[in-house]
Amino acid sequence: MIARIHVNQHHIRYNKKNPAETKPVLTVKTYKSNNYTDAIEIAGPSKVVYLPEQPLSCGAKVWIECAHEDLIYEKS
């Protein structure tokens, strides 16, 4: 299953205004879920994609694609 990882700029702005209760800034999207985290290790091949003319449904224009099975979520 393909996973797309992108940085959530809304959470970065929120965290700047609310340092006592921060939100994770990385979003991992698959066709069936969204997972949020602050650190991810990619254990297999991946690629960085920039498609400003075809952004993701969330608006992201740059993301990393890899196999979801290759992701290791780190606790923050």
30-54, pLDDT tens digit by residue?
Answer: 999 999 999 999 999 999 999 999 9
- Judge contact between 70 and 43, C-beta under 8 A: yes
Predicted structure pTM score: 0.85
- Residue spans per domain, the chain: 2-73
pLDDT at 76 > cutoff 70: no
pLDDT at 57: 86
pLDDT cut 70: percent of the chain above it: 97
CB-CB neighbours of 26 under 10 Å: 18
For the segment 15-26, the average pLDDT, to the nearest whole number, is 96
- Judge contact between 6 and 46, C-beta under 8 A: no
pLDDT at 75: 65
